[in-house]
Amino acid sequence: MTRRQTGAGTRPSATAKGHRGVLIAGVAVLVGLTPTVLVAAGTTSTADTAGPVAPHMDVPAAMGRLRLRTTITGRISPKSVVASGSGLVTAQNMMYTHTVTVYDARTMKLKATIPDSVRLSRFGIGGHPGVSQGAPVEAAFSPDGRYAYVSNYAMYGSGFGPEGKDTCTPASGMDRSFLYRMDLETNRIDQVIRVGSVPKVVATTPDGSRVLVSSWCSWDLYVVDAAKGRVSKVVPLGAYPRGIAVTPDGTAAWVAIMGSSHLLRVDLRTYRTRPVKVGAGPRAVVLSPDARTAYVTLNAEGKVAKVNLRTGAVAKSSTGNAPRSLTRSTDGSALYVVNYKSGTVAKLRSSNMRVLQTVKACYRPIGITYEPVTRRVWVACYGGQILVFDDA
């Protein structure tokens, strides 16, 4: 089977696509038939191990400057990086390495590598005998940081059909995929939930009761009851839903509908929806701490939009070519955006959308996360690197 990436550009060919032999910390390991953890004796990171610089927590993040701290390499192909908020960062490595890698946020060292291999029959799922593999795309954490919920772009193995495409509809016949729950104490997949076709972004509600998954090809939002480990609601959204941001009170989610010019507000009590126009090709979305403002990357415009969710007023700032993922500082004063085709990271002041700094990153930066424990910014490079920036 040809393994390819669709929906986010072509990944550079420098990273090997083989998935049987895995090299971790210089040790060749054969991927097993069950989801096991491969803990490195050393690290694939080139990080300075002297420990983190103590951040000045009383200084607004907008006052800081991005400075490259280290570059993490190894057998990775990160589509995204996500901080748990409790001292871990995970990288979702798609079908090219079939893994999620887990890092200590303070030391920036590899803690574990979790293969995406599962026997679906062990989770009560029929029709796919033997071992199946996924393609980890995005992740979200339970409020206590113990569990990571990971979306899989597609599944590979017996009974699975072709991968998804950039252009697809619910009538395209793409296979539904699965959401994994990974226990970060045991570093094992302990729950598998069938969701929509080509699932993308994952978000959890603040109380941890629900997990939301946007499905690119089935054009809907899957709502998972976390306690029961099963889908409780499917909400139709429109063409190519992607980014999700949940309000702090957990009553609503804002979803970026990339095949449109709007965000969609989903009431998580009634599941009614309401659109707000923001600009062409909205891809990623984050909310201000008070949830009155949404910040949205407009992939088609090369801009980031600031949207007043009460009045609908929109202000835009140019950051680079093809802005993709974005994240914000814990205090809400700064935004960080990866510009996929420009190969840069832009930092903005959220209050006036002024670009404060633009730094060269790598070829095709695709994912970004703000790590609150150390106040560092992690950037996923599709070519096989993670860049870690101090922001002090």
- Asked whether residue 9 is domain-assigned, the answer is no
- Asked whether residue 164 is domain-assigned, the answer is yes
pTM reported for the whole predicted model: 0.88
Contact present, 288 and 272 (Cβ < 8 Å): no
CA–CA gap between residue 214 and residue 229 (Å, rounded):
17
| Token pair listed for 22 | 């895995």
- Asked whether residue 224 is domain-assigned, the answer is yes
**Band (369; pLDDT cuts 50, 70, 90):** very high
Query: Taking the alpha carbons of 249, 251, 255, 261 in that order, is the dihedral positive or negative?
Result: negative
pLDDT for 51 beyond 80: no
CA–CA gap between residue 198 and residue 212 (Å, rounded):
14
The CATH number covering residue 255 comes to 2.130.10.10
Taking alpha carbons only, the member of 308, 323, 6 closest to residue 166 is: 6
- Asked whether residue 379 is domain-assigned, the answer is yes
Containing domain of residue 266, as a range? 32-391
DSSP class of residue 363 equals S
First to last CA, the chain: 46
- The pLDDT tens digits of the residues spanning 133-184 come to 999 999 999 999 999 999 999 999 999 988 877 789 999 989 999 999 999 9
- Asked whether residue 3 is domain-assigned, the answer is no
Counted domains in the chain: 1
- The pLDDT tens digits of the residues spanning 201-223 come to 999 999 999 999 999 999 999 99
- Asked whether residue 125 is domain-assigned, the answer is yes
3-state SS class at 28: strand
- C-alpha pair distances (Å), 341 with each of 296, 360, 364: 18, 12, 6
- C-alpha pair distances (Å), 266 with each of 24, 31, 212, 311, 343: 42, 40, 11, 17, 33
Contact present, 159 and 13 (Cβ < 8 Å): no
- Asked whether residue 11 is domain-assigned, the answer is no
Residue 56: per-residue pLDDT? 57
pLDDT for 3 beyond 60: no
- The pLDDT tens digits of the residues spanning 116-127 come to 999 999 999 999
- Asked whether residue 193 is domain-assigned, the answer is yes
DSSP class of residue 174 equals P
3-state SS class at 344: strand
